[in-house]
Chain A
Amino acid sequence: MWNNIINTALLGTGKKQLSAAELPTDLATVAATIMEDRSLDAETQFLHIAAVILNYRQSGVSAEHNSGVPLQAAPPEEKPYCNKAAIYALQDALDMDLLPLVNYWLEACYDKGQIVVPEYIPVLLETAVSQKRIRHLTMAVCGKRGQWLSNMNADWQFPFALSNEDRWQTGSAEDRRLVLQEMRQSYPGTGREWLMQTWTQENTSARTEFLKIMRTNIGEDDLRWLESLQEKNQKVKDEIWALLKQIPASFIVQAYWQILQQAVSRGAKQSLQISLQLPLDKVIIDSGIATLSNEKHLSEEAYILFQLVGSVPPSWWESHFRMDKEEIIDLFQNDDLGKRFIPALILAAGRFKDTTWLRLLLATSTTFYPDIIPLLPAAEQEEYALRLFPTYPQDVINYLSNRTEEWGLTLTGEVLKWMARNPYQYTRNFFDKHVLQLPPAIIDELDKLMPEEPAYQGTWRNTSDHIRKLIFCKVQITNAFK
């Protein structure tokens, strides 16, 4: 009926006329009255009838009866909902579009054994679509309702239910890297076995990436497999060497030690005797020991020796010299060439995770070693970073950026004071990323960190306001889940 009106209108009454047969019988009398009225032209007659039909249509709407569209109700929740304060905090984190805070919120909610209220489930699932890292946590915090909802939306069907082994077998490249990382962290042996099982199917790039991950908790158990690998690709070979060089029992570390034992000995009157006549095999060069010095005042042979010292556990010198650690450090320090090997000893202590040696060596070091100091307890790291901050401000900031724990108040104060004087290097974006590392107590210190240069004061005022806002949200989250 209505379609007849549309079809006639599309062609125009100049070409097509409505016929009474096309109209519903209910309207036959009305239509006849209109069509028989000779005072009306064809267009008016059409508009009259169409108007009647429009009202006939809108007066006769009825809802379809369909009992065949059931929707399985969501199962009841097993965990309690978070409180209102937590929801306000979540809304703030979402409004600021800050993933670290959203992630922090999800972790806090999960740790408390709570779930989010239903109206926030869609927004969290939508955030998780683009942020793979928060998917597991999001699904856990969205509870049964979240699972129920995600089953109806293809975008939200995350492979969260898969076991680590399934993810390793069938996951994407990134997912598999994450799984191996997790496994090496908690079960290094199983991680290695999984990699061994699929090794022949992996391509060169995947092999390189996986070997990089194997550095986590590398140990003697991995040795047999690593030494058995016959790789052709240079990148893969380099990674295998890098791993072998971290295992004291590996043949290569033993070979280095053989050379060192002959080259470095104790001379008369507690002096160090260093011979630069080094018997170098091809395998030593293949393992990545460079033969050209990259330092102007260090000969090629001394440079090779430097690398070898940096590649054996420092504790081996104790039995070699039959001296304790402090004496050995003095021995090297008191020799013109030997003192140039102190940084190599520091690198070696880091490589073989020998914290006692590291602590002693760093006590007098004036160089900042950001990759090595995480081996020390947090308080010692902070003390060391604070001591070297005036010399290496940006290196210390980079090191802090990579730390996941909250920074100490004193060090944070020093860092922010420096940033306030260098406002163009560290903008709001930096604080957005590192809000979780900032200690809440720094809020009270922010005004005291105002730079003396008037030109920078306005920027610092804005930046400190922003920091306050971020920390406020973080504290809100913490308090909501106390």
Chain B
Amino acid sequence: MLLTEEQVLSLAPDEASRKAGKALAGAAKWVSKGANEQALWGECQGSGSKPYQTQIDLAGTAFKCSCPSRKFPCKHGMGLMLLYARESATFTDNTPPSWVSEWLEKRAGKEVKKQEKEEKQVDEAARDKRQLARQQKVEDGIHELLLWMKDIIRNGLLQLPEKGASYWETMARRMVDAQAPGLAAMVRGLSEINFYSEGWQHTFMEQLLRIYLVIQGFRQGETLSLLLQQELRILVGFTQSQEALRQEKGIKDTWLILNKQVTEEDNLTTEKYWLYGLHSYQPALVLQFYARGMSRPQLLLTAGMSIEAELVFFPSEIPLRALIKEPVTNNNLQDTYGLPGWEELTATETSLAEKMPVRSERPYIVQQLTPVQHNMKWWLKDSNDRIMPVKDGFRNIWKLLSLSGGQPLDMALLGKEQEYEPLGVWHNGVYKLL
């Protein structure tokens, strides 16, 4: 598997690592280096007396380095991958040294152990009792939340911009106490609305109604389908055991990694990977969380590549969030089928809204879209002259325009309803990230 330079750079944990990695992408920095189908390795002379031993499992994109850096991947890992992307022909040694083969064997062993790990015995009676108590607490919390929401509706939204932070935080904390962290996060979402921006009342109402719909759905309980019940429970804040989920049968496919979005809050990094099944046409969102300097991301996925993997989806009528069952194999991204135009996309949206009115944006692939300007805004026009606005604040419009040159391109998009953000395009048969 040969990653492009852009793809390698997208793995960097931050800008500093990106730059430091580039500085190590010269052959002169490496005392020894080698590669085979499975792995990539090299010894880099650092400030210490012994060179650092850097190794990369190409199949699963895993890194290991003997340097003391807490960053992941470290600059040596980045540098070696970049050097391989630029000058793969110079990696003439194909036999891994013992420190590489031992690590690869250990990794394979871990996989087997993981799969063999048996579930612990649980005391079912105690668990049921705990669950019942929690259910009651959540219902009590929901009762209070509803009263609070009705107060807002009775008194009107006009008074909201004057409310201090404690107004929202008190209710969010109450939801945490009621063991409904999902609802707490949704209430915090209300407080994050900029009450001085134009159209805040629309955003507020949409979020308030989402909370209302979740509560009403949750209260419907067993009258709903099992999948919907499970999804609503997750939205309220009941956790879904990932270990149990991993035991479920998933969808095996070639998954295109359309793009990666990274956010960082309170030292917690959240990575969102938007995937799309090549044969199943199933979109997926894979989330990964890690605390910088404390833990490492479990998986390293490269935006703009594809993986052969089995994905298990969290229970939902309209599955999106998923877990990747290891191991995965990386490949170059391939051409895929996309929706023919906006009519097909909006029809899909409608059928999704029918199944689940509370939902987030999701990735789509649409064929032959052209960026055009209309009413001082950028839009995407399909082959039937239907236009849809590009999401406000989309930063790479000029890159998109330059790639398009006024010609239609197959495009990966992220969005819902009436706003879509381009994630990448197929340009001369190559997928380019935006």
**A binding-site residues for B, Cβ under 8 Å:** 2, 5-6, 9-15, 41-44, 46-47, 50-51, 54-55, 58-67, 69-74, 85, 88, 91-92, 95-96, 118-119, 121-122, 145, 148-149, 152-153, 465, 468-469, 472
Contacts and interface: CB of A to CB of B under 8 A. Distances in A.
B205 A71 contact: no
Interface size classification for chain B: 35 or more
B343 A95 contact: no
A63 B405 contact: no
B201 A6 contact: yes
B405 A50 contact: no
Contact of A55 (B353, B379, B388): B353
B357 interface: yes
B110 interface: no
Interface string B320-346: 000000000000000000000111011
A54 B206 contact: yes
Given A59-B354, A63-B388, A64-B386, A12 B155 contact: yes
A64 B342 CA distance: 9
B401 A152 contact: yes
A210 B143 CA distance: 81
Given A55-B357, A58-B417, A95 B18 contact: yes
The DSSP consensus for interface residues of chain A is helix
B370 interface: yes
B102 interface: no
B177 interface: no
A13 B401 contact: no
Given A95-B19, A149-B401, A468-B28, 16 more contacts: A2-B202, A9-B156, A10-B201, A11-B156, A15-B156, A41-B150, A46-B153, A47-B149, A64-B388, A95-B18, A118-B405, A119-B399, A119-B427, A122-B401, A145-B402, A148-B405
Contacts of B23: 465, 469
Given A58-B353, A64-B387, A118-B403, A13 B209 contact: no
Contacts of A118: 402-403, 405, 427
B2 to A, nearest CB: 12
B398 interface: yes
B402 A69 contact: no
A71 B201 contact: no
Given A10-B158, A122-B398, A71 B354 contact: no
Contacts of B349: 58-59, 61
Nearest to A53: B209
Contacts of A51: 209, 212-213, 216, 357
Contacts of A2: 202
B49 to A, nearest CB: 15
Contact of B150 (A44, A55, A73, A152): A44
B151 to A, nearest CB: 8
Contacts of A91: 5
A63 B212 contact: no
Nearest to A16: B156
Contacts of A64: 386-388
Nearest to B384: A65
Nearest to A85: B86
A481 B205 CA distance: 58
B300 interface: no
Q: Which 8 residue pairs across A and B have the least CB separation, nearest first? A: A12-B156, A73-B406, A63-B342, A74-B405, A122-B398, A63-B386, A43-B150, A67-B385
A64 B384 CA distance: 11
Nearest to B204: A9
A157 to B, nearest CB: 14
Contacts of A41: 150
Contacts of A92: 22
A84 B212 CA distance: 53
Given A74-B406, A149-B401, A47 B386 contact: no
Contacts of B157: 9-10, 12
Contact of A119 (B5, B18, B432): B432
A270 B279 CA distance: 102
A85 B371 CA distance: 30
A420 B416 CA distance: 60
B153 A63 contact: no
Interface of B: 5, 18-19, 22-23, 26, 28, 86, 149-150, 153-158, 201-202, 205-206, 209, 212-213, 216, 341-343, 345-346, 349-350, 353-354, 357, 370-374, 379, 381-382, 384-388, 398-399, 401-403, 405-407, 416-418, 427, 432
A15 B159 CA distance: 13
A91 B22 CA distance: 10
Nearest to B416: A58
Contacts of B405: 73-74, 118, 145, 148
Given A6-B202, A50-B205, A51-B357, A69 B346 contact: no
A91 to B, nearest CB: 7
Contact of B402 (A9, A54, A58, A121): A121
B343 A63 contact: yes
A148 B403 CA distance: 12
B386 A65 contact: yes
Nearest to A125: B398
A88 B86 CA distance: 8
Contacts of A65: 384-387
Interface centre among B156, B341, B372, B388 (most CB of A within 10 A): B156
Contacts of B418: 61
Given A58-B349, A148-B405, A47 B417 contact: no
**Residue from A11, A67, A119 whose CB has the most chain B CB atoms within 10 Å:** A119
A5 B205 contact: yes
B209 A47 contact: yes
A66 B374 contact: yes
Contacts of A73: 405-407
B373 A152 contact: yes
Contact of A11 (B158, B213, B407): B158
Nearest to A47: B212
B22 A95 contact: yes
B267 to A, nearest CB: 26
Contacts of B158: 10-12
Contacts of A465: 23
19 contacts: A6-B205, A11-B156, A43-B149, A43-B150, A47-B209, A51-B209, A51-B213, A58-B349, A61-B417, A61-B418, A62-B343, A63-B343, A65-B386, A71-B371, A95-B19, A119-B399, A145-B405, A149-B401, A465-B23
A30 to B, nearest CB: 14
Contacts of A60: 350
Contacts of B28: 468
B374 A69 contact: yes
Given A54-B206, A63-B343, A472-B26, A71 B406 contact: yes
B399 A122 contact: yes
A91 B202 CA distance: 42
A55 B217 CA distance: 14
A65 B382 CA distance: 10
Contacts of B213: 51, 54
B82 to A, nearest CB: 9
A308 to B, nearest CB: 58
A180 B153 CA distance: 71
